[in-house]
Each structure stands twice: as C-alpha cells, then as structure tokens.
C-alpha cells in the first residue's frame, strides 16, 4: 500500500473508531448510568432530595452525557489549535489513548463518580474530528480535497450505524453476560477501549506527520483571528439559521439522551434491544444522506425542505411518547430520522448560500459550535424533565423546542436571490 493511502486509512480508522465507540455508548450509557445510581452516594442522595427527582437515574444519565459534550465543546478547538503547533500525529494519538482509558474505566467501574470521570476524560481528549480533517487535507492535493474529506463523512456515518448494533450484540452475547455476572465487566465498553487502542497503534505505525515545519512556524506566529460568530451574525438571515440549528439540535439531543430510558420503561427493552433500535435509526439516516437527499435537493427548495423536516421532527417527538404499541413506536423513528436529515441538510445549504466562499470554513465552525451547545442543552433539559415530570412531558418539551425553529423559518428570505 502507498504511504499516503496507508496514512489516509489510519485517519479514516481513527474517525471510524471514534464514532463506533460513541455509537456503542449512546443506547447503553443511560441504562448503565441509571443502574449504578440505584444506590446513590450521600451527596447524590442530597441532590436527588433537593431537586425532588421522581426518576433520579434519568437525571444522572443526563449528567454523564452532558459532561462529555461540555468537555468536548471546550477541548476540541484547543486540540485543533495544538495540532497546528505540534503536529497532527501526536494529538491524534493522545486523543485515542484518552478514549481508550475512558472506555476501560467505564467497562470496569460500578461507581457513578468514576463513570463521570471517564466521560470527562473522553470528552477532553476525544475531540479529534477537526484534527483528522486537517490531517486528511494535509495528505491530499487541492483538487482531491473534497474526495478525501468525504472519507471522514463516510467513517462518521459507518461508525454511528454499526456502533449500536455492535453494542447490542456484545451485550447479549454469552461472553458479555458471563463477564458482567462474574467480574462486573461490561464487554461493549471493553471492546470500545480495545478498538481505540488499536487505532492509536495504527496512527503510530502508519501515519507520518502530515504538517510540514513551515506550517508549524506560521501557526506559532499567526495572531488569533476569531470573531467568526460576529461575522456570521452580521449577514442577512444568518441569525435565524443559527437559531434554527440550535433549536433543532437541542430537541434532537433531548431524544438521544432519554430514548433508552423511555424504551426500557414503556416496553421493558434491554440495553441490547435498545442498541438495535439505535442501529435502525442510523440506517435510516444513512438511507436519507446516501440517497434520498439527492432527490429532495433537486426538487425541493431549501427553505421548504427545512420547514418540512422541522415539521416532521416537531410532530414525531411528542407522538413517540404516546405510541401505544411497539411497532408504531419503532416506525415513528422514520419521519423523525428523515426529518432530522432533511432539516440538517437544508440548514447547511442555506447557511452556505448566505456566506461568501472565503468565509465558509469559519461559517461551519460556527455552526458546529452552535450544535455543540445544543448537544449540551438537550440531554440536560430532557433528562431533568424526564426525572421530574416523566417521559411524556420531556418529549413534548423536545417537540416544542424544534417547533420554535419551525417558527423562525417564516422569517427567512423566501426567494433564492434574497439569499445571496
């Protein structure tokens, strides 16, 4: 294999493993966090009493989700800047090792405090997507840049689809059940740790340093530019687009943080069965992003596609909490997942058309930061409402949050020439 191809494979594997571990985690973590908080420590019992939580496990599951997202929100830009100063290779290796240690702690602990520490460590070291994108760009000629960066998107989607399925299979396996019963070790998290360790070895053995010394020196001399958010907000229509992105991600993240808990409470599903459901959602997303998006983008204007996507999400979320049987509960994920895909694609397209080409990088950095805030707010609000008021109210809040974004769509310019 050519060195550049092998290096690209190492970067691809880094992102794939990162999202594979995250995919394993999403359906399992809420139930795991809930189980380890059934016998809370003294300080946790005090919090439960002070907040008058009816379902405290949901609240602490949200804390586990949010701790990761909060740390990643702050750490990811720092890791990206550090990679400009010292190189991509050492930052990717440190990131993967941090994830491996975090997953290993998750696999072996029975204490919520250690679970929280593991999520904080993984969030602080695991923000490697931007570093991986920079490495891919370093490894390619300008004319091939779109193609190789597309590999990052493919790794992202593949990991998110396979992760929940793998988590479900490992949880239900004989070895998984045996390790949990005899040693209290969770096999899915142990496998995630091993995969991160394997990817770190690939980085050391396959990936040369992609950043040349001249670029490092320029990075050390370059002054911080900043103000990307303020630049974006000054453009016509961008405040609404960013607010819509925030409301949409917050509402969807409320579902992500509480779906396992609701499925277990309503239908007595195991963590493995919930993993299969999340895998099904991943497949739906891949179907839309891989095929349906081309049909929609050619025939439906972005503004209309955004409105339809948000409407599907806003309607599906509260109905999901009232679905009387298992099959309607599962089938409602189709409009929810495709509505999410439609709204995300339309939001990106609208934002791109509102911004000149020389500011596109800063624009998508701002959108990612806004969505990062949504990933923090969503699980925080969703699990808190779930813990105090039950799952029905939490999904009405999620649907209402997305509907706030839908209201903002009417304030966007209606004609395409008004978006330029």
Domain-terminating residue out of 223, 251, 278: 223
Asked whether residue 122 falls in the same domain as residue 252, the answer is no
**CA–CA separation, 339 vs 288, rounded Å?**
9
pTM: 0.69
- The CATH code of the domain that includes 393 is 1.20.1250.20
Digit-coded pLDDT (tens) for 277-303: 777 877 777 677 666 766 777 777 778
With cut-offs at 50, 70 and 90, classify the pLDDT of residue 318.
very high
Asked whether residue 188 falls in the same domain as residue 301, the answer is no
With cut-offs at 50, 70 and 90, classify the pLDDT of residue 418.
very low
Digit-coded pLDDT (tens) for 210-254: 766 665 555 455 444 444 567 667 777 788 888 998 999 999 989
Q: Which structural domain range is residue 378 located in?
A: 225-420
Asked whether residue 245 falls in the same domain as residue 189, the answer is no
Domain total for the chain?
A: 2
Which is nearest to 262 in space by CA: 319, 187, 342?
319
What are all long-range contacts of 262-266, with beta carbons under 8 Å and residues at least 24 apart?
262/321, 262/386, 262/391, 262/395, 263/329, 264/31, 265/391, 266/329, 266/391
Digit-coded pLDDT (tens) for 382-411: 888 988 888 899 999 999 999 999 999 888
Domain-terminating residue out of 192, 223, 254: 223
Asked whether residue 60 falls in the same domain as residue 94, the answer is yes
**CA–CA separation, 164 vs 162, rounded Å?**
6
Angle at the Cα of 144 from the Cα atoms of 139 and 149, rounded to 5 degrees = 70
Give the rounded distance of the alpha carbon of 285 from its chain centre. 13
Digit-coded pLDDT (tens) for 54-85: 778 878 888 887 888 788 777 766 776 677 77
Q: What is the pLDDT of residue 236?
A: 79
Asked whether residue 198 falls in the same domain as residue 323, the answer is no
Asked whether residue 217 falls in the same domain as residue 238, the answer is no
Digit-coded pLDDT (tens) for 165-194: 888 888 888 898 888 888 888 899 999 999
Asked whether residue 219 falls in the same domain as residue 340, the answer is no
Q: What is the pLDDT of residue 293?
A: 67
Average pLDDT, the chain: 79
Asked whether residue 209 falls in the same domain as residue 253, the answer is no
For the cut 80, the answer to whether the pLDDT of residue 313 exceeds it is yes
With cut-offs at 50, 70 and 90, classify the pLDDT of residue 419.
very low
Token code pair at residue 308 = 């339809």
Digit-coded pLDDT (tens) for 8-32: 777 887 778 777 887 788 778 877 8
| Average pLDDT of the residues in 375-387 | 87
Asked whether residue 287 falls in the same domain as residue 312, the answer is yes
Asked whether residue 296 falls in the same domain as residue 415, the answer is yes
Domain-terminating residue out of 188, 223, 258: 223
Asked whether residue 42 falls in the same domain as residue 155, the answer is yes
With cut-offs at 50, 70 and 90, classify the pLDDT of residue 417.
very low
Asked whether residue 153 falls in the same domain as residue 289, the answer is no
């Amino acid at each position: 294999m050519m060195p550049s191809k092998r290096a690209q494979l190492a970067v691809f594997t880094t992102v794939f493993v990162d999202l594979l571990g995250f995919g394993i985690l999403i359906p399992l973590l809420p139930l795991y966090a809930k189980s380890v908080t059934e016998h809370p420590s003294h300080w946790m019992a005090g919090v439960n009493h002070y907040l008058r939580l009816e379902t405290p496990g949901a609240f602490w599951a949200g804390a586990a989700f949010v701790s990761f997202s909060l740390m990643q929100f702050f750490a990811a830009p720092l890791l990206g800047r550090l990679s400009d100063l010292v190189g991509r290779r050492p930052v990717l290796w440190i990131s993967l090792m941090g994830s491996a240690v975090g997953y290993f702690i998750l696999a072996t602990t029975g204490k919520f405090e250690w679970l929280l520490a593991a999520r904080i460590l993984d969030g602080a070291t695991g923000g490697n997507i931007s570093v991986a994108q920079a490495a891919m760009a370093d490894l390619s000629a300008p004319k091939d840049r779109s193609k190789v960066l597309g590999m990052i998107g493919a790794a992202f989607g593949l990991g998110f689809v396979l992760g929940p399925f793998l988590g479900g299979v490992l949880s239900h396996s004989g070895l998984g059940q045996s390790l949990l019963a005899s040693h209290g070790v969770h096999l899915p998290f142990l496998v995630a740790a091993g995969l991160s360790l394997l990817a770190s070895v690939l980085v050391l053995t396959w990936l040369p340093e992609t950043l040349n010394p001249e670029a490092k020196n320029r990075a050390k001399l370059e002054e911080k530019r900043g103000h990307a958010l303020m630049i974006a907000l000054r453009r016509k229509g961008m405040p609404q687009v960013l607010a819509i992105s925030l409301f949409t991600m917050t509402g969807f993240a409320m579902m992500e943080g509480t779906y396992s808990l609701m499925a277990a409470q309503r239908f007595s599903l195991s963590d493995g069965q919930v993993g299969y459901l999340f895998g099904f959602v991943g497949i739906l997303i891949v179907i839309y992003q891989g095929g349906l998006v081309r049909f929609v983008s050619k025939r439906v204007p972005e503004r209309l596609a955004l409105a339809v996507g948000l409407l599907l999400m806003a309607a599906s979320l509260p109905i999901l909490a009232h679905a009387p049987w298992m099959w309607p509960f599962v089938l409602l994920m189709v409009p929810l997942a495709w509505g999410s895909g439609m709204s995300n694609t339309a939001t990106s397209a609208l934002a791109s058309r509102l911004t000149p080409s020389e500011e596109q990088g800063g624009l998508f950095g701002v959108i990612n930061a806004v969505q990062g805030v949504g990933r923090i707010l969503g699980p925080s609000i969703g699990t808190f409402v779930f813990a105090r008021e039950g799952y029905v109210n939490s999904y009405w809040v999620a649907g209402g949050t997305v509907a706030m974004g839908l209201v903002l769509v009417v304030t966007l310019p209606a004609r395409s020439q008004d978006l330029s």
